[in-house]
């Protein structure tokens, strides 16, 4: 199929509409979103598209490479500032959507990893507690109780003893 500027613009608009970058890369959900884009484009009458899921994905990579090359050439050529076409603007928006999607996936992955680590630590604690002998458990529980409760020191018995001793010495 010959891709014209009109084809590319409609294609980029459809990508932004469906936004396949919101799902994890390589997932079934993302694949179904790319299939949806291909089906949407094949259903158009004018301009006519004949694409598959794979061709849609690969064409985006081609467009992005061309856009990056064009931007590099503009930066190297000092003083030249070309007007951005609608396709350039759409490709920038796709790039931003892709970056946002990747950041969200990384954040979700990090949160999932933290949750998994916490669950693993709790499971290890439970395993260690289960493997303890009864004596170790009693010792651990006893240490916790001693730390929690303060012992009262009663000096009443000592005072009584000293009084009796003092009185007995007085009598002698």
Give the model's pLDDT for residue 150.
59
Cβ(20)–Cβ(30) below 8 Å: yes
112: its two tokens: 């999932």
Cβ(14)–Cβ(37) below 8 Å: yes
pTM greater than 0.95: no
Cα(39)–Cα(25) distance, integer angstroms: 20
Cα(114)–Cα(38) distance, integer angstroms: 37
Q: What is the 3-state secondary structure (H, E, C) of 95-121?
A: HHHHHHHHHHHHHHHHHHHHHHHHHHH
For 89-119, how does the pLDDT look when each residue is reduced to its tens digit (9 = 90+)?
999 999 999 999 999 999 999 999 999 999 9
- Nearest Cα to 33, choosing from 46, 48, 15? 15
Q: Which sign, positive or negative, has the C-alpha torsion 54, 34, 9, 73?
A: negative
In which band, very low, low, confident or very high, does the pLDDT at 143 lie, cut at 50, 70 and 90? low
Any idea which of 50-54, 68-72, 158-162 has the lowest mean pLDDT?
A: 158-162
């Amino acid at each position: 199929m010959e891709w014209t500027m009109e084809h590319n613009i409609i294609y980029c608009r459809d990508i932004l509409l469906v936004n396949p970058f919101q799902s994890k890369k390589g997932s079934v959900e993302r694949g179904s979103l790319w299939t949806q884009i291909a089906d949407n484009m094949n259903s158009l009458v004018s301009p006519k598209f004949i694409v598959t899921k794979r061709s849609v994905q690969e064409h985006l990579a081609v467009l992005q490479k061309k856009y990056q090359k064009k931007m590099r050439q503009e930066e190297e050529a000092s003083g030249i500032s070309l007007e951005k076409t609608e396709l350039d603007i759409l490709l920038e928006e796709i790039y931003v959507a892709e970056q946002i999607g990747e950041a969200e996936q990384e954040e979700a992955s990090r949160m999932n990893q933290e949750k998994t680590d916490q669950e693993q630590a709790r499971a290890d604690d439970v395993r260690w507690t289960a493997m303890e002998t009864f004596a170790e458990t009693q010792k651990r529980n006893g240490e916790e109780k001693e730390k929690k409760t303060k012992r009262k020191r009663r000096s009443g018995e000592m005072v009584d003893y000293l009084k009796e001793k003092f009185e007995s010495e007085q009598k002698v």
